[in-house]
Each structure stands twice: as structure tokens, then as C-alpha cells.
Structure 1
Amino acid sequence: MSISKRLIINCGASRVTAAVVSSQGGSLQIEKLVTEDLQYDFSNEEAILPSVGAALKVLAQTHKLSGKATLIIPGNQVLTKTIRIPHIEEAKRAQIIAFEAQQNIPYPLHEVVWDSQVVGDDGVETEVLFIAAKSNLVDDFCGYVSAAGFTAESISAATVLDYNTLQFAYPELDDDVLLINIGARSTNLLFRNPEGFFVRNIQLGGNSLTQNIADSLGKPFVQAEAVKHKFFAEKHGYSEDDSGAQLLNSCSESFMRRMSQEITRSIVNYRRQKGGAAPKRILLNGRGSLLKGLAEQLSITQKVPVEFFDPLQNVTLDGSIDTDIDVLRMQTSEIIGEACRGMIPDAAGVNLLPESIQSAIAFAQKKPFILIAAACLALVPLPAWLAVKSAHSVYSEQVRVIQAGLQPLQSSQAQIRDYQEQAEVASEAIQRVEGLVNSKSNWIQFFAELQESLHLAEDVWLDKLNIVREQSADGKSSYEVLVEGQLLVREAVNSAERVDENVLSDQLKSLRASFEDSEFIVSSHSPVITWTKLHEGLNVLPFSINLVVDPAKPL
């Protein structure tokens, strides 16, 4: 059976733990496990991501880790809601979950990356665990992961992974159990029963105790953290009667009371929502659970046995891992929960990796096959190309022979062009001569027609005749003959007022119509009559007429 190997990185609030985990059949082995503490002011939430990025770079450089990795983000970075929806087919479930979730979360749905996990279904209603993270936080997180040399294959939420670890480490467990995982910033409560599980994340963790100590001692958070570790690790010089020791013990008792109250409140909430029994057993995990007296305090307040959870049951450790086994038990639960997802029935898990990045990863996985397919397609025309290349050589030789025979023909062609140009020049000259000859005979006939029109009109003579030649933009020529003359007015010898101008105009219009009867004229403009001389007492009426010449019979 093949061995599956994965790199899983748990990015907690106080440290980053990376593990190379291999699985074969039903067995799980941690081949490599390294941890890097985060260096930042734990009271400054905005410093978390840059510190995680720096720790990832150290892991990559110091321990030679890189490539695809499954990332785990802590419960305080995600929003977890339990919602109930009608029992419907799985294909339509996501749409109903999105609608219900929008009514229950404080952010617009488009501002978060979300996924869901079914935790119960009675055939009427489906109980769903909705888990979301702010999109900008996930995008920034992916940027730091990429900058460190890792490729985010998926992003899981630590909130639900303890359920998988509990199933894998305690396969025979069938009681109602509460698993409490106390981290630096928050505590994850996992209620497990034979029907499923219930999750609640409370914002109370080891940093809450540190802040209480800092406030009580009047010291900065970083110094208070150092004092806390020394005191509770019993590496201090305080006696039991020392005021400093009493103050630190008071802070510890206050923290345990708050933790007990939150757990009691969560149990009540769990029983109200699930209608189940109270847990019969409490399991503790996480470095915060090592606080002296906490297990005893919870056993007294909750009236159930309290013991430490061992996630390493059924897990093999590589011999090269020299970390203390008790320390490993406190920091590997989420990693094992992610590693065994494919090895247990009804495993819990979500993927908060944005769809755009998932699509890019899917495309990258397909890229080798696409390149192979492209190469095969590129080779398809190879036989045809070889045949074309062979034919090209034959055709090239034929072209060379033809070009050699073309040289004398091209020389003759140039001489033929010269003769053709000379012939065209001679043809144009002949056409001009023919035009002059034709024009001379046309003018004689045209003048004869003008003379006949003047004779028929009587008392009319011409003083001037001009030729107007024009050429339009399209290259066509137009010809007009402008005739100017005078009409003798016999009726106006004694008085100009008695002259009937309409009669004179009609007489000139008749003359114009007579001109248009010529075969050389196609139309004419209205006569332009000058009445000035007639009004001055002279018996003549000057006029001018534009005659349009037929282009087919030019003058």
C-alpha cells in the first residue's frame, strides 16, 4: 500500500509548529516536527501575521521545508456559528447555509471566506457548523505563506480538528466527553457525544492570565509573560509568604474561576441547543492547561473526572524527534486531527483557502498534462510538414529553372513597355488632331444654326461669343457657350413707359429655345436681361444667354 506524506503547519497565536506526517493504511507517523516561537508583543493583535510570516521563513530556511502545505489557523482568528437549516439535498445546501449565515454573522458574506461542516441531521433539520474568516486576513496570511516559500494547499480551522484527533486517539470512546484545548489567546471547547459534536470557542487563554499579571504588577505585557513562565514553572525565588507569590497565585485563581465559569456557561448552552446530557468526562489539552491546580479546580466545579488528553495515542514518532513527549502532547492535537481526516469516518474539517487560489492550484496540477497534450498536438502536423518540406525542395528547383528562363523574357518585356508608352503618346496626339478637325466642322455648323435662329427672331444681333470650359473633380469636362447680344425695340421709339417688358422677355425666351434646338446644345440658362438702356430712352435691350454644350459633340 502506498505511503501518503504531507506537510502540515499549525500557525498558533504564540508559536508555529510544522510537521511532516506520513500515513499508510490506518497508521500515522510523524517523521519530522519543528517549532518556532513567535516574537511579538502578544498584546498587539496586528503584529500576529507579520510574526507568523517571520516564523515561517525561519522554518523554511533552518529546517529546509518548502512546497505544498496544509495550514491551520487558530480558533481566535475564525468566526464559528452553529445554525440549523431544513433537511434538503446536499446540492442545494450551500445556498441555504449562506442565507442563514448572513443573518447570524456581523459581517457581509462577501467580506469573508467560509465553509461549513454538518454536525447532525435528524431527517427534518440539519445542524451545520459555519466557520468563516475575514477575506483580507486570509489574503494577507496567504501572502506571508507564499513569501516564506510555501504553497497553501488548504487552510483548516483548529476549531474542529480536535474532534478528529479524539476519534483517532480514542476509537473505543462512547461517553459524552468535553475536550478543552487552552491556547494563548482562546480556548476551544469540543463537546463529543455518540450522535456528533458541538464546538464553542471562548476568548480566554494564557494571554488573559498574562494581562492580569501585567495589570497587577504594573509591568509591560512582555515582562509579565516572562514572570508567569518562571513562577508557574517554579523557577523563581519566591517563598509561599512572599507578597509577589501571593499576588501571582491570586491572578492564577482568578483565571481558573473565570475559566470554570465560562465552561459552566458553555455546558449549559450545549445542553440547551443539543438537548443532550452533561459531559461525563473532561479532557485537557494545550499549554494553558498545564496551569497548576486547573485540573483539580475543574474537577471540583464540574463534578466529573478531569484528565489530560493524549493525542499521540496510535501515532508513531520518528526517532529523530527529541522533543519531550509531554510537550508534544500539548502542541500536536490539531496537526494530528488534520493528518487523520482521511482515516476516520465522518471526519470534521473545512477549507478556508479562497476559491481563486484553489483554482490556481488546480490549474497548476493540470499544467503538466496540458503541456504533454500541447506537445502531442504540436507533433500531429510533423509528417505533413516533412512531406511539405520534401515537396518544397522539388518546387524550389523548378522555380530556379523557370527564373533562369525568365531573364531574357523580362528584358523583352521592358522593351515592349517602352514601345507601348510611345504608342500611347502618339495615340493622344492623333486624338487631339482628330478633335481639332471635328471641332472645326462643328463650329461651322453651329454658327450656321445660330445665324438661322437670329434670322428667324428678327431685330436681334450678337455682340460677343465666349467659350467656358470646366473640369470637375471626377475628371469629366463641361462646355458652355456664352452669347451676348441686343434686341432692337421698335415700340419704344417715343416713350419707354409704354414698352411691355413681358413681351420682350417672351421674345428672348423664344430665341433661347431656338438656340436649344441645335444638336450641339443640351440645355441653357434663363436669359439675363439688362433693362437699363431701355429705361434711359435707348431702343435696344442688351441680353446674355449661357448655352450648355453636349459633351458628346464638343465645340
Structure 2
Amino acid sequence: MSAEPILIIDGGLKSLTIGRFTFGETGPSLQASYEEKSIPQDAEESSQVEAWASALKKLCKAHNLSGKAIWVLPSRYVFTAMLRFPHVEPSKQAQLIAFEASQCLPFPLKESVWDSTIIADDGSQTGALLGAAKASLLERLAEHAEDCGIELNAIYPRSIVDAALYNASSQKGTQATLLIHFGEEHIHFTFCDHHQVFIRCVAFSEGDFSQDFFLSTLDVTVEHYQEQTGLVVPQHYLLSGTSACRLKALESLKPRYGDAAILWNPLDLFGLKSTERTHAEEGLANLYAAALLTVNPEFTSVNLLPMQVLRARLLKREKPWLTIAGLCLLLTPVPYWLFFKKMRSEYAFKDEQVQSEIQQVEAINASMELGQARLASLETSIQKLQDLGAAEMYWSGFLDDLQERLYRTKDVWLDSLERSQDEQGNVMSERVDLVGRLLLTHDKAVDDATFSQETASLRVYDLVESLSGSMFIDRVEEINFDTKDKQVLKFKLALLLAH
């Protein structure tokens, strides 16, 4: 472990906390912590960074802080999502994750910084944790830190640190556990099952919090967790945070889960004395969690430090050497030029040979230009192949999803599937026509005429509802079905795909 201390900075919405850590054989050790509370509440994104910068400047100046650091970013400014896609080779995962990110991010991909980590892979399906934030916010954050003598090595989302604390605790076991952390504005639901992690953030307000809201949110989250992972319902529920709402939440969980639902203080992991536990327990827990993410590669981590910041930092370090190298290149031709001037007066008769060599050089330049044109053509071909590969992965995911939804509807099979394109204005849309049959079963005591109409309508619209929930389908445009046969229903659906 490095003896060099590292600063962990927790940028909260109402305060900024800094901890100085050293790392030894037993893990991270907090040497000192500092807090600045002069941050306006409910600050906008543009002014929030400036408020952090002002607080950071005060603390660095007051306590002579500088060096390498890790920043923990609040959930308000970070988008997290759990991605699930068909298993592919590791070399192709980044391209597939980039495609999934472009579909679900609430802001343009080119204006964001995103990172991901694989959290589960059973050979057929792969699960990944995606984190993203606006690039402008992160770059300004790194710029203000450097102005204070702070060099950011990583920026971690607040929502991922609970898993690190749990993995380091004695509470960790073989049964599925749900960590429920009440932050300043968000509830973090973190499901831990062996090496798999599932995270969901839900915004809330202490003034509007109610037990009904919490239980309904919990039920939806658990249902979503099971749909995404196929894993069992959590067996243990650990509640953490400093908000008074966690006590109300515990009261609502006790009738359901009994002793399986308990309050959990992550600071108990580190044996801190009561005098060391200041009123800023929330910030301290975040600091320790970020320190654990820094030293333990087994913990799930998503680093949102912009690549542009790293490039600028590297260029700044190499700039003196680049300047020296440039001067050397400028000075190198001088002696050769003097020698050529002297020799030219003595060998003027060789002018024709020089002209011949110039022509050879021009021929070489022409050949190089032709090679560059061929290279541009090759890059275009490569781009077409990459687009074809992305399309192949998209259709593979679409067909797998379609097969799963047809299976859930039961007793349905396809006779044909046709793909077409339609240009509306300057927009090209993809359309898929499905022709198939549904098996109808009914009670013989029911009138056949009534049955064929009502049951057929229910069966078809069950299928339509299932297809409409697919991420690959924008909407179902046309619905046609034939009720002449009371045993088998023929149908035709037109699907407009989402890209």
C-alpha cells in the first residue's frame, strides 16, 4: 500500500466534507476530517459547483490541504441504470454498452461522461452497472479542484458506495440483502446477492414522506429487481442514513419482515469511538466507502473522471519535455543548411541531378496522397462494418425479446415476420409486420358468439400490451384479427420499432 495520503471529498448538497486517509495492511485509516457548511440549500447545478469550489478553497487554505483526491458526487447529478443484454465476447461489450447507454441516458451521449462495470454474467445474459453525468459539470469540478492544488484521481457516484460498505462488513452473508440508505434527497436501494449488485435511486422529500409511499416504492423496486435479474426476494433489510425517515420506514417493515429489518450504521465497521463520530456521520460514511472503493478492486466502482481532464493533465506534465524536443528539432537543420550552401557553389553543374531527385520526391508525395485516399476509403468501409455489427446486435436483442414476450403470452406462434422501412419527411422508420395465430380456449357453457368476440379481443390485446412494453418497440400501429375460427385466432400486427 502507498504511504502517500489521499483526500476523500464528499460534495453534499448542504455541506462539503474532506477526509485525509492513509492506507496500510488493515485498510484505510482516517487521519483527520474537515467540514464546511456554508453551502446554500436548493442550489442550481451551475451554482452548486461554485458553492463546492468556494467551500473547498476555504478548507484547503485553512488546513493546508493539497494532493491526490477522490470526489463523491450526489445522486441528484448522476444517472445510474442497470443494463442487461445477451452475453457477448468481452471485446464487444463496450460497444454494446455504449449503444444501451445512448438509448437510456436523459441527456445526449456526446455531452456526458459515463462509465460502467460488469456485475453479473451467467453465460447467456450479462448485467452491467452504468453511471453517467454531464461532462460540463465534471470538467468544471476538476478545474476548480486543480485551482486549489487538488488532483482528482476519480469521481464516484454516491449511489454506488453502499455496496462497498456492505462487502466490507460482517453483515455480508450468503443470502440476498437489500440496503436502504436515506440520503439528503434520494433513497438508495442496493441489492447485494453474492457478487451481483442491483442499484435503484428514488427521489424523496422528508416533508412529503409517508409509510405508504415507502412501501409502494419498495414493492416496485423489488419487482423491477426480480424482472431484471431473476434472483430471489431479499432475505435481509438494512436501513442506514441520518434522516428521521428511516425510523418511519423501519416501523412499516417490521410487520412484514420482523427481525430481518434492522437499522445499520456503516461506521460500526471501523471501530470509531463516540468522540470521533461527529454530527456529520453521513459524510464520514461516504468518505470511508470511497476509500474502500479506491483500494479494493473487487468492489463495484464507476469512475466519472472525464478523459479530457486526464489528457490535459498529461500534456501539462509533458509540456517542458515537448518544448525541449521542439527546440532540438528547430536547431538540427542549421549545420546541414550551412554545409549545403558551401557545396552548392562548388557543384552547380549537378543541378540537373537535383531536379531529377525533386521529381522523384514529388512522385513519392503523389503516391502518399493516393495512399491517404485509399486509407480514407478503408475507414469508410470499416465504419460501415461497425454499423452493420451494431445493427446485428440490435436485431439479435429484438428477436430474443420478442420470443420471450410471445412465450409469456402463451399458446401463440408466428407464421411470418416481415421487415420494412418507411421514410416520413427526413426520418427513416423501421416497421415489422407479424402474422400469426393464437390458441383460444373457453368454457363450453359460454355462448360461442359472445366468446369469440370478447375472448379474442382480450387475447389479442394481452399480446399487444406485452409487445408495447418492449424497449425495442415504439408502438403497435395496426391490429387486425379474424374471429371466424373459434379455436384458433389469426392475427396481424404492425410494429413501429424504436431506435
Q: Deviations over 1:171-210 (max 9, x none)?
A: 7522211111211121211110114110001111xxx124
Shift of 1:289: 5.0
The answer for the alignment partner of 1:308 in structure 2 is 263
Corresponding residue to 1:273 among 228, 232, 253: 228
Distance 1:203 1:67 in 2: 34
Shift of 1:304: 5.7
Q: Do the aligned residues in 2 keep the contact of 1:287 with 1:331 (CA within 8 Å)?
A: no
2:102 is aligned with 1:102: yes
Query: Secondary structure at 1:169's aligned position in 2?
Result: coil
The answer for the alignment partner of 1:77 in structure 2 is 77
**Which one-letter code corresponds to 1:177 in the other structure?**
T
The answer for the alignment partner of 2:150 in structure 1 is 150
2:206 is aligned with 1:209: yes
The answer for the alignment partner of 1:288 in structure 2 is 243
The answer for the alignment partner of 2:111 in structure 1 is 111
The answer for the alignment partner of 1:41 in structure 2 is 41
The answer for the alignment partner of 2:447 in structure 1 is none
The answer for the alignment partner of 1:92 in structure 2 is 92
The answer for the alignment partner of 1:132 in structure 2 is 132
Q: Do the aligned residues in 2 keep the contact of 1:285 with 1:330 (CA within 8 Å)?
A: no
Gaps of 5+ in 2: 333-499
Judged with a 3 Å threshold, the aligned counterparts in structure 2 of structure 1 residues 353 and 181 are, in CA distance, closer, same or farther, namely same
2:307 is aligned with 1:355: yes
The answer for the alignment partner of 1:26 in structure 2 is 26
Query: Secondary structure at 2:161's aligned position in 1?
Result: helix
The answer for the alignment partner of 1:497 in structure 2 is none
Q: Deviations over 1:470-509 (max 9, x none)?
A: xxxxxxxxxxxxxxxxxxxxxxxxxxxxxxxxxxxxxxxx
The answer for the alignment partner of 2:277 in structure 1 is 324
Q: Do the aligned residues in 2 keep the contact of 1:168 with 1:344 (CA within 8 Å)?
A: no
Query: Secondary structure at 1:288's aligned position in 2?
Result: coil
Judged with a 3 Å threshold, the aligned counterparts in structure 2 of structure 1 residues 363 and 322 are, in CA distance, closer, same or farther, namely farther
Q: Deviations over 1:366-413 (max 9, x none)?
A: 679x59x98xx99xx9xxxxxxxxxxxxxxxxxxxxxxxxxxxxxxxx
**Which one-letter code corresponds to 1:332 in the other structure?**
L
Shift of 1:73: 0.4
Q: Do the aligned residues in 2 keep the contact of 1:188 with 1:201 (CA within 8 Å)?
A: yes
Q: Deviations over 1:495-550 (max 9, x none)?
A: xxxxxxxxxxxxxxxxxxxxxxxxxxxxxxxxxxxxxxxxxxxxxxxxxxxxxxxx
Query: Secondary structure at 2:266's aligned position in 1?
Result: coil
2:201 is aligned with 1:258: no
Distance 1:124 1:191 in 2: 21
The answer for the alignment partner of 2:64 in structure 1 is 64
Superposed, 1:487-502 pairs within 5 Å as none
Q: Do the aligned residues in 2 keep the contact of 1:153 with 1:361 (CA within 8 Å)?
A: no
Judged with a 3 Å threshold, the aligned counterparts in structure 2 of structure 1 residues 21 and 275 are, in CA distance, closer, same or farther, namely same
Distance 2:14 2:74 in 1: 10
Q: Do the aligned residues in 1 keep the contact of 2:13 with 2:39 (CA within 8 Å)?
A: no
The answer for the alignment partner of 1:226 in structure 2 is none
Distance 1:22 1:273 in 2: 39
Judged with a 3 Å threshold, the aligned counterparts in structure 2 of structure 1 residues 36 and 306 are, in CA distance, closer, same or farther, namely farther
Q: Do the aligned residues in 1 keep the contact of 2:13 with 2:41 (CA within 8 Å)?
A: no
Q: Deviations over 1:301-352 (max 9, x none)?
A: 55563223232345365x9x94436x46533333222212354452111111
Query: Secondary structure at 1:31's aligned position in 2?
Result: strand
Q: Do the aligned residues in 2 keep the contact of 1:41 with 1:47 (CA within 8 Å)?
A: no
Q: Do the aligned residues in 2 keep the contact of 1:28 with 1:315 (CA within 8 Å)?
A: no
Q: Do the aligned residues in 1 keep the contact of 2:190 with 2:200 (CA within 8 Å)?
A: yes
Select between 271-280 and 359-368 the one with higher mean Cα deviation. Answer: 359-368
Q: Do the aligned residues in 2 keep the contact of 1:113 with 1:135 (CA within 8 Å)?
A: yes
Number of aligned residues: 330
**Which one-letter code corresponds to 2:263 in the other structure?**
F
Q: Do the aligned residues in 2 keep the contact of 1:181 with 1:289 (CA within 8 Å)?
A: no
Q: Do the aligned residues in 1 keep the contact of 2:84 with 2:228 (CA within 8 Å)?
A: no
**Which one-letter code corresponds to 1:281 in the other structure?**
H
2:141 is aligned with 1:141: yes
Judged with a 3 Å threshold, the aligned counterparts in structure 2 of structure 1 residues 108 and 122 are, in CA distance, closer, same or farther, namely same
Q: Do the aligned residues in 2 keep the contact of 1:159 with 1:199 (CA within 8 Å)?
A: yes
**Which one-letter code corresponds to 1:110 in the other structure?**
K
- Percent identity at matched positions? 27
Judged with a 3 Å threshold, the aligned counterparts in structure 2 of structure 1 residues 343 and 49 are, in CA distance, closer, same or farther, namely closer
Distance 1:41 1:172 in 2: 36
**Which one-letter code corresponds to 2:206 in the other structure?**
L
**Which one-letter code corresponds to 1:57 in the other structure?**
K
Distance 1:171 1:28 in 2: 19
**Which one-letter code corresponds to 1:77 in the other structure?**
Y
Shift of 1:151: 2.3
Distance 1:322 1:173 in 2: 30
Distance 1:279 1:365 in 2: 49
Query: Secondary structure at 1:34's aligned position in 2?
Result: strand
Judged with a 3 Å threshold, the aligned counterparts in structure 2 of structure 1 residues 44 and 155 are, in CA distance, closer, same or farther, namely closer
**Which one-letter code corresponds to 1:353 in the other structure?**
L
Query: Secondary structure at 1:283's aligned position in 2?
Result: strand
The answer for the alignment partner of 1:15 in structure 2 is 15
Query: Secondary structure at 2:104's aligned position in 1?
Result: coil
Gaps of 5+ in 1: 213-253, 382-555
Distance 1:171 1:367 in 2: 50
Distance 1:77 1:360 in 2: 24
Distance 1:187 1:49 in 2: 23
**Which one-letter code corresponds to 2:303 in the other structure?**
N
TM-score in terms of structure 1 length: 0.54
The answer for the alignment partner of 1:243 in structure 2 is none
Q: Deviations over 1:132-189 (max 9, x none)?
A: 1012222232333334442222211112121111111237522211111211121211
Shift of 1:11: 0.8
Judged with a 3 Å threshold, the aligned counterparts in structure 2 of structure 1 residues 47 and 357 are, in CA distance, closer, same or farther, namely closer
Q: Deviations over 1:69-90 (max 9, x none)?
A: 1111012211111112333333
Distance 2:78 2:172 in 1: 31
TM-score in terms of structure 2 length: 0.59
Distance 2:36 2:276 in 1: 13
Distance 2:117 2:107 in 1: 20
Q: Do the aligned residues in 1 keep the contact of 2:10 with 2:283 (CA within 8 Å)?
A: no
